[in-house]
Amino acid sequence: IHSVEELSLYDFPFGDVVLQEVRKLDQAPDGLTVILGVSYLKGSPFGQGFTDCVALGRRIQGIRKSCTSPEFQEKVARIVNQLLGELKPKGPGTFEFASIDGEPVLIDMETNRFNSMHYAKLFHEMYAPDASFAAWNFHPPAGLDVWSFWGRLCDRDVAFTPQSARGVFPLLFLKSQQTTGTAMFIAIGRDEADVANLKSLAEEALRELPDEHIRAQEERDG
């Protein structure tokens, strides 16, 4: 839509709509769109630090440590505090901010429900609050169950437990026999490079066929 006249030709039988202006969004150094997410519980932001939503196309595929500047995050914090002060939420929710010409713009919000960002942050805060982390969605191949995948992580010595300093843990794993399943994982590491390596090892384990897993295990056992 390019004009008010063009808009007047549309009919909205279900009531008022909100139109979002098409703008060029700023990008992170790796080329992904910058979308900073802030989760809250009741009237307070939740979790240490800020996280970026990893967006591929129009879908959020995970979260990671924010690449935005302290100045940008300070502006977001002020906006979030104002929103929470006005809304006075009684439950959980999330705000998402895009960066446009270096300025934060609220583009989405979810209220009164937990989402995957809460789960990842809760896990990180509980077991490794000072470590680097990233969480992401993935579709495991048909037939792969969580215990088989966990065994593959253990074989690679990258399965995260409360006693671990680093590793990968399945936050969600829904098996499917006919099609790909649905899963969400978190990688906890020493730094961002370590987290990226753990993510790569986890996805390698997910894609490994059963026969390949047996051969790989035999090679590791000598």
Predicted local distance difference test score (pLDDT) of residue 169: 97
Pairing of the two strands 35-41 and 44-45 = antiparallel
Q: Is 17 exposed, middle or buried (0-12, 13-18, 19+ CB in 10 A)?
A: exposed
- Domains present along the chain, CATH in parentheses: 11-113 (3.30.470.20), 128-222 (3.90.1170)
Q: What pLDDT score does 218 carry?
A: 53
Q: Which residues of the chain have pLDDT under 70?
A: 57, 210-222
Please calculate the CA angle 69-74-80 and round it to the nearest 5 degrees: 125
